[in-house]
Amino acid sequence: MPDIRQPTSSLIAAGRGWAANHWLWLVMLVVFGLLLARDPFSTRTLIGNLEPYPDTFHYLVPPKCWLEGRGWRLCRPGVEGLVTDVPPLYSITLLPVLLTTSDPRVFYFVNVLLAVVAAWLFYDIINRLTANRLITAIALGLYVTNFFTSWLPQLAMAENLLLPLLLFNIWLLILPWRRWSPALAGLAVAALHGTKFAALPSMVVLFVAFIAKIWFEPQYDQDSQDHRQAVSKLVLRARARFTPGLELFLAATVVFLALGGWKSVLSLGIIQNLVADGPTPGSSASSAVPWYSPQYFSTNITHYWRSLSGLPARFLWDMTPIVPRWVALSGWLGLGLTAVKSRYRLVAAVLIATMLVQAGVLSLYFSSDSRYILVAIPSLLIGSALFAWWWWQRHQSFAWRAGVAIVLLAVGAGYALSNAGRWRQQLAVNFKYAETPWWLVASQLLDQTMAEQPANRRPIVITAMAPYLIDLYGRGGYDLLPLYQQQDFRGHKPAVWGSQHDYTDLEALYRSLLVSNRPVYLASYGLGNQPELKAAFASIQSNFSLELVSTGCHDLCNLYRLSLPTDGGAQSEERTEDQAEAAR
């Protein structure tokens, strides 16, 4: 009989050998795991808020609707919904876990897996570029403890897939190529655009970089080398350079078109908006503000330059620098020195070009946000490692390298000491304290209260909360209406809230529903610090009779039942139009 212990022993030996070679990765993986250790299904973490709105709904709702057989759209119970034009690749990655549960918070497990894949790719890239464990340890430590690499997985956003895809493209640039490499590179570079339209500048830069790699490194085509005697050198050279390039182009182009990339570019009107000055945001014609325009460049490029310099700049609602300032400065130096003279000059040039082109093109967009230059986080960290590697290689003497090692250890220790408080706070939130997800709590409390209300006719809830948030956590049984004309999806009210209503005058709509004996409720949560929402809520208080049904969230999640005023009704109706207009 064959001895089955021998293959098992070989596997164990191989596993031990791998662990011995990659113990540094395993140590950092434990650190990364501690920073990511959150229970998404608890009410002790902000994951359940499903922020930011409305971005996350474009990623979470379409796969849920598709699994229900209602198509790839932003559907709602009893409402057809909107056809989303957001790239689908991130939502597709969520499908396997959404098959197991209807709870949307399961996205966190996919994001953690993507974050670990990204960390491994970063580790392998640094390993291949520097071949120095001390530099790799410091660079990987900077990556796994970066605020955004452990924060982004809490958000159901495409950036979680975009980051490992960017690193995968960089990784492909470093690897020696084989016959399958051009097709894989074409798919990888096109996947950027299939994940996020804002990654189009990075896609173009990487596409050109892969073409350059094909041109300057024809030696990867092993078949051509084997048949050197059978064909002329000219034919061999043409085959080695142009055939893989054609494969790359076709693969990337087909995927680009299949994902609707051509449609997205045309729908944004990029070319048209670049040559036409539109009104500024906040003006009376704000609805006609173009997506892209040169008028935004001077303001936005300043934002991105601050971010690329390691200074505070807005990343969603956070102002934390994407990397420490010393990392940004050493990163630019390292990339510049490597791009001038190094075997990896193509990689360094691509990282520089990707950051600058991404920042330059997105500066034409009407809104600036550091998440649009997410590639800068790994790029600057890689550049900082390359600077340390350049410094290490300046001299071969033991004294020089010992001195460099001491400086690097001092820098690492200084970074650890200066960030120890932040790490301690994050670990305390993960394992001891709590952050209350009030949006989740409010939506669940609303759903629970409505389930307890007796009603002969289907009730209606007026709310400032996003309807998709309530749908994702609720059991249904009631309809939703907006509190304010300019809430999210304001241009698509019939498709989002229902086509059976006229939304021209919301208070008149509420009144008509009460006249027809529909139970109408008003939820108080979600007003925040927005004066328009508070004015709309106050207007309803003035023009209708409110009966308190339930309280919660320290009186922020109250639910009221509306009724028509019993006295002074005529006077109240005379005030309604003016107050509604003032609220709008």
Note the pLDDT of residue 584: 39
Distance in angstroms (rounded) separating the CA atoms of residues 244 and 236 = 12
Asked if residue 204 is part of any domain, the answer here is yes
pLDDT at residue 319 greater than cutoff 80: yes
Asked if residue 465 is part of any domain, the answer here is yes
Distance in angstroms (rounded) separating the CA atoms of residues 65 and 81 = 10
Asked if residue 353 is part of any domain, the answer here is no
**What does the pLDDT look like over 37-71, one tens digit per residue?**
999 999 889 999 999 988 999 999 999 999 989 88
* Size of the chain, expressed as the number of residues it contains: 584
- Model confidence band, residue 258 (pLDDT cutoffs 50, 70, 90): low
Asked if residue 463 is part of any domain, the answer here is yes
Domain boundary among the residues 207, 239, 268 is at: 268
pLDDT at residue 546 greater than cutoff 60: yes
Note the pLDDT of residue 218: 55
Asked if residue 524 is part of any domain, the answer here is yes
Radius of gyration for the alpha carbons in the chain, expressed in angstroms and rounded: 28
Q: Is residue 60 packed enough to be buried (19+ CB in 10 Å), middle (13-18) or exposed (0-12)?
A: buried
pLDDT above 90: percentage of residues in the chain: 46
pLDDT at residue 571 greater than cutoff 70: no
Closest CA to 466 of 116, 52, 15, 96: 52
| Averaged pLDDT, 536-565 | 90
Strands 559-563 and 460-463: unpaired
Phi and psi at residue 448, to the nearest 5°:
-65, -45
Please give the residue that has the higher pLDDT: either 186 or 324. Answer: 324
CA atoms within 13 A on the CB side of 524: 19
Asked if residue 308 is part of any domain, the answer here is no
pLDDT at residue 2 greater than cutoff 60: no
Distance in angstroms (rounded) separating the CA atoms of residues 344 and 382 = 12
Closest CA to 153 of 142, 140, 164: 164
- Model confidence band, residue 226 (pLDDT cutoffs 50, 70, 90): very low
Q: Is residue 200 packed enough to be buried (19+ CB in 10 Å), middle (13-18) or exposed (0-12)?
A: buried
Asked if residue 538 is part of any domain, the answer here is yes
Range of the domain at 197: 176-268
pLDDT at residue 12 greater than cutoff 80: no
**Among the listed ranges 189-193, 250-254, 537-541, which one has the minimum average pLDDT value?**
250-254
Note the pLDDT of residue 65: 92
Note the pLDDT of residue 528: 82
Note the pLDDT of residue 499: 86
| Arithmetic mean of pLDDT over the chain | 83
| Averaged pLDDT, 195-216 | 87
Distance in angstroms (rounded) separating the CA atoms of residues 14 and 32 = 25
Note the pLDDT of residue 501: 87
What are the residues whose beta carbons fall under 8 Å from the beta carbon of 342, sequence distance 6 or more? Answer: 348
Note the pLDDT of residue 560: 93
Identify whether the C-beta of residue 378 lies closer than 8 Å to the C-beta of residue 170. Answer: yes
pTM summary value: 0.85
How many domains does the chain divide into? Answer: 2
Asked if residue 92 is part of any domain, the answer here is no
Note the pLDDT of residue 393: 84
The DSSP call for residue 322 is: S
Distance in angstroms (rounded) separating the CA atoms of residues 386 and 390 = 6
| Averaged pLDDT, 531-557 | 90
Note the pLDDT of residue 562: 92
pLDDT at residue 575 greater than cutoff 80: no
Domain boundary among the residues 268, 284, 311 is at: 268
